[in-house]
């Protein structure tokens, strides 16, 4: 089925999905936001899954990282897809160190809901407020 949402509507839908699913810890919204046959190409452990696998993963993350927050930095929409650049931050419960990982997620819409997801994330790292410096240094000279 085709998607009837505008680019602006799809981007707002994705932003609200992250707010509810991650920041407000409402795992159940996945049943409202995803098609029943939703397919996550890069689910928990890098393996494909559906709604249930993603919901279980997120509930596990709520327990392992109680102060977890996702920050949506950029959203781009084209056709029936939205790409999102985001940063996930939390405090490690054992070491009390600030942690983060970065991600890019592509969502495909169908019937005004999310039908598919692809994601790439960086490994978790310390969030010292200057993490960008160490990543930039690994890139080498810019000229």
Write out pLDDT tens, residues 102-133.
999 999 999 899 999 999 999 999 986 655 44
Give this prediction's pTM. Answer: 0.86
Q: Where are the domains of the chain?
A: 7-139
Cα–Cα distance, 57 to 50 (Å, whole number): 11
Radius of gyration of the chain, Cα coordinates, nearest whole angstrom: 16
Write out pLDDT tens, residues 48-85.
999 999 999 999 999 999 999 999 999 999 999 999 99
What is 7-139's CATH topology?
Answer: Nuclear Transport Factor 2; Chain: A, (3.10.450)
Cα–Cα distance, 123 to 104 (Å, whole number): 13
């Amino acid at each position: 089925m085709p998607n009837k949402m505008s680019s602006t509507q799809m981007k707002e839908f994705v932003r609200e999905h992250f707010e509810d699913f991650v920041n407000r810890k409402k795992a159940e919204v996945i049943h409202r936001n995803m098609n029943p046959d939703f397919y996550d190409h890069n689910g928990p452990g890098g393996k494909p899954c559906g709604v249930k696998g993603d919901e279980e993963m997120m509930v596990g993350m709520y327990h392992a990282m109680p102060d977890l927050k996702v920050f949506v930095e950029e959203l781009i929409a084209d056709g029936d897809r939205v790409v999102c650049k985001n940063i996930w931050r939390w405090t490690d419960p054992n070491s009390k160190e600030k942690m983060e990982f970065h991600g890019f997620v592509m969502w495909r819409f169908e019937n005004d809901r999310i039908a598919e997801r692809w994601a790439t994330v960086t490994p978790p790292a310390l969030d010292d407020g200057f993490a960008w410096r160490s990543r930039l240094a690994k890139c080498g000279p810019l000229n």
